[in-house]
Amino acid sequence: MVQNNLIAGSWVEGSDAVDNINPSDLDDVIDSYARADAGQVNDAVAAAKAAFPGWSTGSIQARAGMLAAVAAEIMARKEELGELLAREEGKTKPEGIGEVMRAGQIFDFFAGEVVRQSGEKIASVRPGIDVEITREPLGVVGLITPWNFPIAIPAWKIAPALA
């Protein structure tokens, strides 16, 4: 069975599929995954853009709660996800679990950053002008991440973008 793409809350078949094979055991096909074509990528970006106003104007507590829930889910499934990651990457199971735990810690950290009210007001080099720095979610981001850290590095980019 091919694992499809989640776009705008619905599972969508891809243009074709690719097998994910364990590099430590070439007879171990972990699963098959749908590839998205350019139109599906555009649909996913449009869906993310459409969701952004509600996300970014929601309460900071709601955003923090969502990021904390992601962290908790990752940590609750660290053994399962670590085993899967080890199969996908050819890492040892402890390395896989360690990376999964790091991803959970990253989401947990940024859940705290959402509610930490911080900003800066600094003087400008121009007289009578102040510069104010505030934090707000970025919205849609494109990620280029390394294949050998498939959960920690994306978490490191996704969590602060959502915070």
Q: How much of the chain, in percent, has pLDDT values that exceed 70?
A: 100
Give the integer Cα–Cα distance in Å for 80 and 92. 13
pLDDT at 145: 86
Confidence band (pLDDT; 50, 70, 90) for 67? very high
Does CATH place domain 59-163 in 3.40.50.300? no
Report whether pLDDT(118) > 80. no
What is the pLDDT of the chain when averaged over all its residues?
92
Better pLDDT: 5 or 120: 5
Please count the residues of the chain.
163
CA distance from start to end of the chain: 35
Burial of 116 (0-12, 13-18, 19+ CB in 10 A): exposed
Q: What pLDDT shows up at residue 135?
A: 77
Residue corresponding to tokens 């993310």 = 48
CA distances (Å), origin 9, targets 12, 20, 41, 54: 9, 24, 14, 15
Q: What is the pTM of this model?
A: 0.85
Q: At what angle do helices 60-76 and 93-115 cross, to 10 degrees?
A: 170
Residues 91, 98: Cα–Cα separation, whole Å: 11
The structural domains of the chain, with segments of one domain joined by +, span 1-57, 59-163
